[in-house]
């Protein structure tokens, strides 16, 4: 067979060109202009790390966005992963409802998250939403504006992300199918209850996929612009502001491109940091 250099180059070219156009060019723009003063009207001028300093010292909104994003990363990579894994352990067994429930839990993961945001906006609507009208049947005076009340907004937005635990469930179940039945049978013969088998045999074997799910869950919190835009737009005030939403506003409302790109750089760094920490915690770099 001809290991022809020409053909190797030709086959790689489209992908590399696309990478250069979409990612490389953007990353260069992102990093270089994050050190400049660049607004829609003005010319670019180099200002060193002023954008970064401003974000951390002069910008209360950004600090809230950063704090919220970190809190959500934490919640998503602990509670949601735990929830998804627990459901996986139940649905991996052959109950009459297992297949149906897997489908149900995964459906919110497959639709546009803008649409999911819309669904939550509707069922939590204070006037005609399902939740309030159900509660009103018991307590007639009940009236909470879930997404707009500063007391409930953060919790409500957090709730909209719970269905995404379905991805964890699906990934863990698909990994569990690779465990041979013999191991589980052997444990049963030795007198292990199903719960013991899950805890001491299945879960340790799932370490890598749970780690991967945690990485996905954590980094997904750096992308959540759509649901926020559909539900609260970061409000009330900046109560539910996250980093992507704040970045969006910096670009399209304030037209401060340099400042926005400094936020973009920090967003990437936070992603890499989460990735490194989670991989360490799950010892994912160890060979099994």
Partner 1 sequence: MTKYIKKTMVAALMLFIILIALTPFIWVFMASFKTNAEILSGTIGLPKVLHVQNYVTAFKLAPLVTFYKNSIIVGIVATLLNLIVCSMAAYVVVRCDFKAKGLVTLIFSIGLIVPAAALLQPLYTTLQASHLYNTLTGLILVYTAIGMPTTFYVMVSYIRTIPFTLEEAAYIDGCGFARTFFTIVLPITRPAFATAGVIQFLLAWNEFQFALTLTGETSKRTLPIALYYFKSAFASDYGAMFAATVVVITPSILIFILLQKQIISGLAAGSVKG
Residue closer to partner 1 (CB basis): 21 or 46: 21
Q: 54-93 burial by CB neighbour count: b if 16+ within 10 A, else e?
A: bbeeebeebbbbbebbeebbebbbeebbeebbebbbebbe
- The answer to whether residue 219 forms part of the interface with partner 1 (CB under 8 A) is yes
Single residue of 75, 101, 148, 203 touching partner 1 by CB under 8 A = 101
Residue closer to partner 1 (CB basis): 186 or 199: 199
- The answer to whether residue 104 forms part of the interface with partner 1 (CB under 8 A) is yes
Q: How many residues in the shown chain lie near partner 1 by CB under 8 A?
A: 94
Sketch the per residue contact string, 254 through 273, with partner 1: x for CB under 8 A, - otherwise: ---x--xx--xx-xx--xx-
Using CB under 8 A, which residues numbered 50 to 69 contact partner 1?
A: none
Residue closer to partner 1 (CB basis): 53 or 134: 134
DSSP secondary structure letters along 85-122: HHHHHHHTS--TTHHHHHHHHHHHHHS-HHHHHHHHHH
Reduced to 3 states, what is the DSSP secondary structure of residue 45? strand
Q: Kindly state the smallest distance separating residue 44's Cβ from partner 1, in Å.
A: 11
Tally of CB atoms within 10 A around 39: 13
Using CB under 8 A, which residues numbered 132 to 161 contact partner 1?
A: 132-134, 136, 159
CB 44, CB 37: distance < 8 Å = yes
Strands (E), the chain: 36-37, 45-46
Single residue of 72, 120, 147, 282 touching partner 1 by CB under 8 A = 120
**How many Cα atoms are found within 13 Å in the side-chain-facing hemisphere of 10?**
5
Residue closer to partner 1 (CB basis): 97 or 200: 97
Using CB under 8 A, which residues numbered 165 to 184 contact partner 1?
A: 166-167, 170-171, 174-175
């Amino acid at each position: 067979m001809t290991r022809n250099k020409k053909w190797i180059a030709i086959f790689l070219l489209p992908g590399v060109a696309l990478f250069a156009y979409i990612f490389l060019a953007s990353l260069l723009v992102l990093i270089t202009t994050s050190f400049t003063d660049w607004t829609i009207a003005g010319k670019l001028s180099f200002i060193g790390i002023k954008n970064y300093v401003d974000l951390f010292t002069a910008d209360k909104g950004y600090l809230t966005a950063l704090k919220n994003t970190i809190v959500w990363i934490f919640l998503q990579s602990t509670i949601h992963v735990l929830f998804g894994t627990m459901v996986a352990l139940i649905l991996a067994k052959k109950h009459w409802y297992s297949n149906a429930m897997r489908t149900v839990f995964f459906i919110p993961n497959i639709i546009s998250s803008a649409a999911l945001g819309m669904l939550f906006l509707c069922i939590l609507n204070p006037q005609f939403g399902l939740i309030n009208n159900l509660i009103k049947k018991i307590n007639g005076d009940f009236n909470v504006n879930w997404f707009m009340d500063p007391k409930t907004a953060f919790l409500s937005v957090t709730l909209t992300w719970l269905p995404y635990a379905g991805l964890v469930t699906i990934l863990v179940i698909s990994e569990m199918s690779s465990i041979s039945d013999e191991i589980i049978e052997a444990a049963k013969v030795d007198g292990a209850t199903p719960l013991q088998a899950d805890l001491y045999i299945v879960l340790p074997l799932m370490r890598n996929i749970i780690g991967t799910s945690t990485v996905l869950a954590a980094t997904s919190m750096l992308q959540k612009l759509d649901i926020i835009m559909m539900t609260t737009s970061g409000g009330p005030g900046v109560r539910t502001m996250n980093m992507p939403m704040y970045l969006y506003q910096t670009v399209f409302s304030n037209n401060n491109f340099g400042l926005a790109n400094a936020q973009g750089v920090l967003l990437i760094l936070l992603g890499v940091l989460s990735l490194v920490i989670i991989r360490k915690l799950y010892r994912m770099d160890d060979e099994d």
